[in-house]
Amino acid sequence: MPFGPASANVILSGESAAFASSRSCGTADSKSKDLSVANYDSAEKGCWSAEARHVEDPVWVSRSRARTRCLHHYAKYIVSLFLRLLKFSLCHSLLSSGLFLHRLHQLPDSLPPDSALRFPMAKRTAAQPALALFPPNASIEELQKEAAHCKACDLWKNATQTVFGEGASAKPKVIFVGEQPGDQEDIEGKPFVGPAGKLLDSALVEAGIDRKKVYVTNAVKHFKWEPRGKRRIHKKPNAIEIAACRPWLDAEIAAIRPNVIVCLGATAAQSLLGRDFRVTLHRGEFLKSDLAPHVMATVHPSSILRAPDDATRHEEMKRFIADLKKVAHHV
Ligand code: URA
């Protein structure tokens, strides 16, 4: 029996029928209609479920046609979902390649060839011509000249200058690697000349090591800081900055070929020995590494300066000197 608005198209099929309302459902696309199936109540003939009765301007169709339409709409919905996903992943890859290009422009003009292989950005084609320009057996002086223009990360923007390593003019046998230059090092352009440097100097003397016979450098060559009033407060370099600077450290190691590398603190140790390395667990131990015949990590001198009281500072200084004594006979 026909049911519904006079203008609606009604087709009954047995005891049930279906309707398609003209409401927009706003799911897959704004034009799709909300398709529902309403049951014709056989007990109360001519009475349709409340849902059917409250739909404005229904278009009545047979149940099988409604099912076909439902399937059609689901298919459209799935296709549109798939297209959205495709659009999203396209945008994402375009965006990340844009960021990548942006970072390539920040690469130093030239990078040391061996170590650059560990520098993921350096493997990309745009960096290759610059790599070819770099002298393969660069001396410390040549490296220092190149590193003065380094823009491999953003730290150069707020630093006065690149603070490269320095040391014995004759081939040093031991390299000490700190974290990054501090305020005073940034101004003077030399590593370990501030308060931490003074502490390192006196520990070296106590351990019987002549600083003039060793090479001292940092894992990161630019001072990272944040302002506090008129002061520039040291800020720890992050993993990207450490990785960006690693080629210079590798190049220094390649140029010097030291017998011993001493990592001062977690940043240097994690740069050279991996992010899982813990100074607290392995301080003072000689570790297996292909960087040098002997590699050791100990605390950073500034951690001793930060000791909470004199007694702790004294104790920490003793332990630091004991670690340094282990390398004294290699110098
Ligand atoms: N701290 C470092 O790690 N390096 C310096 O050169 C000075 C302070």
Could you give phi then psi for residue 2, rounded to 5 degrees? -65, 145
Instruction: State mean pLDDT over 212-232.
Output: 97
Structure letter (DSSP) for residue 16? B
Residue 94 has a pLDDT of 58
The reply to whether 80 and 142 lie within a common domain is: no
The reply to whether 33 and 174 lie within a common domain is: no
CB of 21 sitting under 6 A from ligand 1:
no
Token output for 156? 């150069």
- Residue located via tokens 């450290």: 249
For ligand 1, pick from 155, 163, 177, 185 the residue to mutate: most ligand atoms within 8 Å of CB.
Answer: 185
Mean per-residue pLDDT over the chain, rounded = 78
Q: Is the distance from CB of 161 to CB of 120 less than 8 angstroms?
A: no
The reply to whether 155 and 278 lie within a common domain is: yes
Which atom of ligand 1 is the closest one to the Cα of 264?
3
CB of 113 sitting under 6 A from ligand 1:
no
The reply to whether 242 and 175 lie within a common domain is: yes
Residue 5 has a pLDDT of 39
Cα 264 from Cα 271, distance rounded (Å): 11
- Residue located via tokens 């060559």: 221
The reply to whether 137 and 66 lie within a common domain is: no
Q: Is the distance from CB of 267 to CB of 179 less than 8 angstroms?
A: yes
Band (135; pLDDT cuts 50, 70, 90): low
Q: Would you say residue 92 lies in a domain?
A: no
Residue 71 has a pLDDT of 85
Token output for 144? 């220092």
Of 85, 103, 118, which marks where a domain is finished? 85
Instruction: Tell me how far the alpha carbon of residue 200 lies from the centroid of ligand 1, in angstroms.
Output: 10
Quick: pLDDT tens for 274-307.
999 999 999 999 999 999 999 999 999 999 999 9
Report percent pLDDT > 90 for the chain: 57
Q: Would you say residue 297 lies in a domain?
A: yes
Q: DSSP 3-state assignment of 22? A: strand
The reply to whether 196 and 309 lie within a common domain is: yes
Q: DSSP 3-state assignment of 111? A: coil
State pTM to two decimals. Answer: 0.63
Which atom of ligand 1 is the closest one to the Cα of 179?
3
Q: Would you say residue 219 lies in a domain?
A: yes
CB of 178 sitting under 6 A from ligand 1:
yes
Q: Would you say residue 109 lies in a domain?
A: no
CB of 185 sitting under 6 A from ligand 1:
yes
**pLDDT exceeds 90 at position 322:** yes
Residue 223's CB is within 10 A of a number of other CB atoms, namely 26
Is 123 or 246 the better-scoring residue by pLDDT?
246
Residue 100 has a pLDDT of 41
Q: Would you say residue 222 lies in a domain?
A: yes
The reply to whether 74 and 155 lie within a common domain is: no
Which atom of ligand 1 is the closest one to the Cα of 301?
1
**Torsion sign (Cα): 189, 194, 198, 199:** negative
Residue 141 has a pLDDT of 94
Burial of 281 (0-12, 13-18, 19+ CB in 10 A): exposed
The reply to whether 177 and 279 lie within a common domain is: yes
Q: What is the DSSP string of 228-297?
A: ETTEEEE----HHHHHHHHHHHHHHHHHH--SEEEEESHHHHHHHH-TT--HHHHTT-EE--SS-SEEEE
CB of 186 sitting under 6 A from ligand 1:
no
Q: How many domains does the chain fold into?
A: 2
Instruction: Tell me how far the alpha carbon of residue 195 lies from the centroid of ligand 1, in angstroms.
Output: 9
CB of 217 sitting under 6 A from ligand 1:
no
Q: Would you say residue 315 lies in a domain?
A: yes
Band (86; pLDDT cuts 50, 70, 90): confident
The reply to whether 33 and 139 lie within a common domain is: no
The reply to whether 58 and 187 lie within a common domain is: no
Which atom of ligand 1 is the closest one to the Cα of 184?
7
CATH of the domain at 146: 3.40.470.10
The reply to whether 218 and 72 lie within a common domain is: no
Q: Would you say residue 101 lies in a domain?
A: no
Band (64; pLDDT cuts 50, 70, 90): confident
Of the listed ranges 88-102, 143-157, 160-174, the least confidently predicted one is 88-102
The reply to whether 28 and 155 lie within a common domain is: no
Structure letter (DSSP) for residue 189? T
Instruction: Tell me how far the alpha carbon of residue 116 lies from the centroid of ligand 1, in angstroms.
Output: 24
Which domain covers residue 37, as residue numbers?
Answer: 18-85
CB of 301 sitting under 6 A from ligand 1:
no
Instruction: Tell me how far the alpha carbon of residue 313 lies from the centroid of ligand 1, in angstroms.
Output: 18
CB of 179 sitting under 6 A from ligand 1:
yes
Instruction: State mean pLDDT over 95-121.
Output: 39
CB of 196 sitting under 6 A from ligand 1:
yes
- 218, β-bridge pairs: 178
